[in-house]
Amino acid sequence: MRLLIFGLGYTGTALARHLAPGGWRIAAVTRDGRDDSIAFADAERVAFEIGHATHIVSTVAPDQADPILAAFGAQIADARGWLGYLSSTGVYGDTRGAWVDETAPTGTGRRTARSEADAAWLALGARVFRLPGIYGPGRSPLDRIARGAGARIDVPGQVFSRVHLEDLVAGVVAGFNAPAGIYNLADDLPAPQSDVVAYACALLGMPAPPLVPLEQADLSPQAQAFYSENRRVANGKAKRVLRWRLRFPDYRLGLRALSASTSPIITNAAPATASSDQR
């Protein structure tokens, strides 16, 4: 089995490490070709890997457009392998806390380019995995609190969905045997970010920081945009079609596991043949 990953970041690296012990041949494309990956500009090598891959996954977020499809869309369209794309539940926009499933309209939020990329990959026959906030080893409220960055923003009634890295990887792998289409990979308990931070503080034996009204919080434009949306993401299709079973169905279980161990999620895994980039 040959896996080609565009953009080996947090989730791409975890996917590669999960599959490598099973004998997968893994290649990765990054912008600068560091760490033995293939440079984005090496069009001939990239075309070779696309043509020989049994599975292709893109984790690269678009800017004004999807850079992978802009550069290699024709070759990917002709590829015979399985296609996967890691998208975002941000394509659903703000639903004022209402539940959204894969039939909900997209393109109404602040991520127009993401919605267009999502639709383009879907048109190619990809499995499009729409992801909420991702947390896991080295990237969780526990780590932010340890850095002194565990603010609690008070936005009454606002909730967010999230997914543990290990469950995300399990969902993508389950998608290898599933039909093309959209799959939301989110846990079972959308919750206010302030509640998550408070629980993480309790696990660390620290007092929870006071709630700060949104208008008084010193937030970056990106963070302000994050708090402008409010939705609950349904995961029933992934459970039904992928037979996806969450190891961490809510943030409490996920944070407890992270606080109990500083070891990586995926242990005894051989390193991937390349690393680094976005998701």
Task: Write down the pTM of the prediction.
Answer: 0.91
Domains with residue ranges and CATH for the chain: 2-260 (3.40.50.720)
> What are 95-118's pLDDT values in tens digits?
999 999 999 999 866 678 999 999
Q: What is the C-alpha separation between 29 and 250, in angstroms, rounded?
A: 33
Cα(273)–Cα(60) distance, integer angstroms: 18
pLDDT of residue 108: 67
Rounded mean pLDDT of 175-193?
97
Q: With a cut of 80, say whether residue 84 has pLDDT above it.
A: yes
Secondary structure (DSSP) of 196-250: HHHHHHHHTT-PPPPEEEGGGS---HHHHHHTT---EE--HHHHHHS----S-SS
